[in-house]
A and B are shown apart, each in its own frame.
Chain A
């Protein structure tokens, strides 16, 4: 690697002697955590384009029902009729939009990409504990993606039972008319579960065993805390999903009756199992974005994070509580209403750690010296949008209010404020912030700001009015709102939302240009362009195989910004202060 010469100049280059690996071992079947991280990033970004286009098809149908979608006249029947969507295909499209965005965009990018890329670099390790397992985790994920996409091309079309796949609708092929599409959906998620399991074991082992000297748990950056907690959640939650999926597959293909009352099964069993996985899953999606935001806010406010331990403990609290709130998805399901009361209380309680985090982020900004870089703007968007997503959750936590808004667009608005307003802004923040370390070049700031403001405005135009649709009673997952008299007056809002969504799609063009242009022609990045404290900025940009010239020794926590001990406004974790300074500190 080109960096090995500079590495040798600054210290002993332990790994400089490694032999050149061929193309396949470097770029395809790489065991280097940084390459695997980049691979997850490209997988996620590719899937994001696909998931976004599916969303635009949904929005077109909702604004101008059963009219021709421009450019889609070639799609054959029975999916589309001369470019207009049929209801079966519409159901498959929203099922796949959610499935792709959750399992193949947010998880691969926030957990797969940044987990892989950041954990060894930020804890001061040369690689993951199990590099081959790491490679397998990515390629098993690719197999899952291929199986998932194959579902679009099988007779009967793709899974059309929603991403929540409620049985019995999904348990008997005749109920949806979908045969192998739903089976492939199930098998794909089982394979993806194996991929995530390999990843999470690796993350946990690496963080526990491979921290650099001096890197205690309470000196870990919060993003590493978040990824550590997420890995534990994945390890515990995914087996539940996998076993539920296996039962569903058996019901569909082997004639069992886990979820079918005619054979003695119980339909609600699916919902209990799915949401027992599904609610920790929500925190799997949001916790890494919280960690990313915490790190970026501190760096660009040039201030220590406000209440570091409270931030770490509130994430642990969220992780614990996420196991006892699943029933709030089932208030109207026919589950005993007394059980609903218990889940309402646990759900109200889980809002408290989220509130702590929000106020601590505000506290971090207080008295800062705030640099408005693109990464920072996205992190600030995360905070403000997460506030909306968190507050709207209180409506549905209240069981009587949930009677009305359950299964309406209020829920759709809520999930998008959490997963787009939260996770996706967090994901963009992370890309803008770590791009220099990942690819050795800076992204373009003006283009980044255009992307940010266009996205932020279009995003709110798209998702905020969905709260109003929900309050108006519009059900989610309906193909044509004009079939209902009470929804017809709301139709102009649907049209407005669709224009917002089209704008949101167009707003991503500057990002794509910026990303690929910067990849090849961006300004060369120095080691520490943001003047940050954490260990990844000690390594070269991009770090060579083995990451560090010498394993750094950690002397302090990750957020010593504007410390009175030094004249600069940052104090890297590995910097050893002179003896007289140490003396005054005692």
Chain B
């Protein structure tokens, strides 16, 4: 099942994936345990004439064990998840590249602040559905929406964040490998939801410099 995951190209994607594996192994083992027990019972205790079922109303010790053991596993899983969650969603590090992404039916508008680093000035540049970033740099995405809720999804970077009209939400990522990756919208946003997508291009450092120079020759 694991090799179905899209290739991970983000710094924190590995953490997400290893939690995924961990839960996969725990739940997989539980599933096998329960199914083997169930099937064994079905075979062992299938109906036979003249035999009488065991008259038992339960066993408190067993019940305490199978209450406490899952509870401990689940609490431990929560704590393990919490560290990654806080790193990815709560504490965005200072950004090397800032970009404002505004969703609307049915496009992504990518706004670059230009050399002055400020949004809303004359040197801003807006591209539709094209996001260009350098490899190995922290990119901070300021998510906004013009109409309905959309969801900014980067499958290869293990990032998903809804964009909500009326507020700005900060998301971040750091790509580890140059390439072109799709940016689908993951939240139903109307009849054009399917096919609402952009492209993320992760450039090697020198190529990104060149891309910036072409856009803002003065800088």
Q: Is A348 a contact partner of B164 (Cβ separation < 8 A)? A: no
Q: Is A261 a contact partner of B81 (Cβ separation < 8 A)? A: no
A 271-314 to B, binary, CB cutoff 8 A, 1 in contact else 0: 00000000000000000000000000000011111111010000
Q: Is B85 a contact partner of A341 (Cβ separation < 8 A)? A: yes
Q: Is A340 a contact partner of B89 (Cβ separation < 8 A)? A: yes
A 309-353 to B, binary, CB cutoff 8 A, 1 in contact else 0: 010000000000000000000001110011011001100110110
A549 at the interface (CB under 8 A from B): no
Give Cα distance in the complex from A430 to B60, angstroms. 29
Shortest B196–chain A CB gap in Å is 9
Q: Is B82 a contact partner of A344 (Cβ separation < 8 A)? A: yes
Q: Is B52 a contact partner of A371 (Cβ separation < 8 A)? A: no
Question: In the complex, which residues of chain B have a beta carbon less than 8 angstroms from the beta carbon of A363?
Answer: 58-59, 62
Do A261 and B149 form a contact, CB below 8 Å, given A391-B27, A391-B31? no
Q: Is A369 a contact partner of B47 (Cβ separation < 8 A)? A: yes
Do A370 and B15 form a contact, CB below 8 Å, given A395-B20, A403-B88, A480-B195? no
Q: Is A486 a contact partner of B182 (Cβ separation < 8 A)? A: yes
One of A332, A369, A395, A483 near B161 (C-beta < 8 A): A332
Q: Is A394 a contact partner of B74 (Cβ separation < 8 A)? A: yes
Give Cα distance in the complex from A498 to B50, angstroms. 47
Question: In the complex, which residues of chain B have a beta carbon less than 8 angstroms from the beta carbon of A177?
Answer: 190-191
Q: Is A338 a contact partner of B90 (Cβ separation < 8 A)? A: yes
The interface centre, meaning the residue of B46, B52, B88 with most chain A CB atoms within 10 A of its CB, is B52
Question: In the complex, which residues of chain A have a beta carbon less than 8 angstroms from the beta carbon of B6?
Answer: 472-473, 486
B 180-195 to A, binary, CB cutoff 8 A, 1 in contact else 0: 0110111111111111
B126 at the interface (CB under 8 A from A): no
A372 at the interface (CB under 8 A from B): yes
Question: In the complex, which residues of chain A have a beta carbon less than 8 angstroms from the beta carbon of B59?
Answer: 306-307, 363
Do A307 and B57 form a contact, CB below 8 Å, given A177-B191, A370-B42? yes
Q: Is B161 a contact partner of A334 (Cβ separation < 8 A)? A: yes
Residue of A nearest to B153 (CB): A475
Q: Is B4 a contact partner of A308 (Cβ separation < 8 A)? A: no
A268 at the interface (CB under 8 A from B): yes
Interface 9-residue window, one of B32-40, B109-117, B130-138, B209-217: B32-40
Give Cα distance in the complex from A367 to B48, angstroms. 12
Q: Is B197 a contact partner of A372 (Cβ separation < 8 A)? A: no
Do A401 and B45 form a contact, CB below 8 Å, given A169-B148, A304-B57? no
Do A477 and B45 form a contact, CB below 8 Å, given A332-B161, A363-B59? no
A59 at the interface (CB under 8 A from B): no
Question: In the complex, which residues of chain B have a beta carbon less than 8 angstroms from the beta carbon of A400?
Answer: 15-16, 19, 81, 84-85, 88
Q: Is B54 a contact partner of A345 (Cβ separation < 8 A)? A: no
Give Cα distance in the complex from A349 to B71, angstroms. 7
Question: In the complex, which residues of chain B have a beta carbon less than 8 angstroms from the beta carbon of A477?
Answer: 188, 193-194
Give Cα distance in the complex from A471 to B5, angstroms. 5
Give Cα distance in the complex from A171 to B189, angstroms. 12
B97 at the interface (CB under 8 A from A): no
Q: Is B166 a contact partner of A166 (Cβ separation < 8 A)? A: no
Residue of A nearest to B58 (CB): A307
Shortest B214–chain A CB gap in Å is 26
A431 at the interface (CB under 8 A from B): no
The interface centre, meaning the residue of A262, A334, A365, A563 with most chain B CB atoms within 10 A of its CB, is A334
Give Cα distance in the complex from A340 to B89, angstroms. 10
Give Cα distance in the complex from A261 to B146, angstroms. 10
Question: In the complex, which residues of chain A have a beta carbon less than 8 angstroms from the beta carbon of B38?
Answer: 362, 365, 380, 383-384
B86 at the interface (CB under 8 A from A): yes
Give Cα distance in the complex from A91 to B191, angstroms. 7
Give Cα distance in the complex from A365 to B45, angstroms. 8
Do A370 and B46 form a contact, CB below 8 Å, given A91-B188, A261-B165? yes
Q: Is B35 a contact partner of A384 (Cβ separation < 8 A)? A: yes
Residue of A nearest to B37 (CB): A362
Q: Is B41 a contact partner of A365 (Cβ separation < 8 A)? A: yes
Q: Is B158 a contact partner of A168 (Cβ separation < 8 A)? A: no
Q: Is B27 a contact partner of A162 (Cβ separation < 8 A)? A: no
Knowing that A369-B47, A395-B20, A403-B160 touch, tell me 4 more A-B residue pairs with CB under 8 angstroms.
Answer: A176-B190, A394-B27, A395-B23, A404-B155
